Amino acid sequence: MSGLEFHNSTHLADDRLRLLCRDAVDGWSIGRAAVRFRYSRGADFSGACYYRNRRIFVNIGRHVVYPYRMGTHVGRSKTVGRFWCKPRYFVELADGYQLAMFVFVHELYHLLVKRARRNTRLKESMCDRFATRFILAHFGGHVRTEEGIPVPREDWDFQDLTGFVAAARGRTIQSRTKRPLSMAAGKPAITTAPQMCLGDQLWLFQ
């Protein structure tokens, strides 16, 4: 796979996982990067992106039962009095491929933000939206509320994620773009579930 060194020590088939990764990075300039898929030490899943050497780690639990209800931070922030919060929306993942790719594409967007020389802080919601877009485009499905009600697309997919990291596009793609798109204004992400952001690492626990 051009530009991406691939390693997989899970039960997922290399060929299928490699093809999905190729689809995810197609059109992006990621330099010499590497991804490693492996089993977690107990968590349902976790992921990390190391900017310095452009390495992405994707960890999935052996114990995870599918379909898996993935909690996301893709919802719009809402102001309540002096505070603001974010609704919890969910995506149903049918198998390990979808879980692994959600985490990978989330971490990939972290890398694209860095490659585009954007501020890397507080980008968890954008990364979740980028990953959710990929999952729905490749596997179908819906974003749903905690009660299982489908969420209208415009309620969660409201940012120009591609335009925000346009500087990380491949040269061929950039040459086709007449002008860069501007990102819709949005508020920083608020963590509403057990989650730690450690520098350029993101560890997600469900």
Task: Write the pLDDT tens digit of every residue in 2-32.
Answer: 589 999 999 999 999 999 999 999 999 999 9
Q: Has residue 38 got a pLDDT over 50?
A: yes
Tokens of residue 56, six digits:
């992405």
Q: Are strands 33-39 and 55-60 parallel, antiparallel or unpaired?
A: parallel
Mean pLDDT of the region 46-52: 96
187 secondary structure, DSSP code: P
Name the pTM for this structure: 0.81
pLDDT at 170: 76
Mean pLDDT of the region 138-143: 96
Question: Which residue from 54, 145, 49, 63 is spatially nearest to 99, judged by alpha carbons?
Answer: 63
Q: Has residue 34 got a pLDDT over 80?
A: yes
pLDDT at 171: 61
Do residues 16 and 97 touch, judged by C-beta distance below 8 A?
yes
Residue 23's H or E segment, with its range, is helix 14-25
Q: Where are the alpha helices (DSSP H) in 62-157?
A: 96-115, 124-139
Decide: residue 29, CB within 10 A, 0-12 exposed, 13-18 middle, 19+ buried. Answer: middle
Using the structure block, give the residue that is written with the tokens 């990978």.
104
Using the structure block, give the residue that is written with the tokens 């977690």.
40
Using the structure block, give the residue that is written with the tokens 């893709």.
74
pLDDT at 2: 53
Using the structure block, give the residue that is written with the tokens 């007449």.
178
The domain segmentation of the chain, as residue ranges, is 4-204
Which residues, at least 6 apart from 167, have a Cβ–Cβ distance to it below 8 Å?
115, 116, 117
CA atoms within 13 A on the CB side of 115: 25
Choose the weakest-confidence range: 32-36, 79-83, 180-184.
180-184
Greater model confidence, 195 or 48: 48
Helix (H, G, I), strand (E, B) or coil at 190: coil
Greater model confidence, 171 or 168: 168
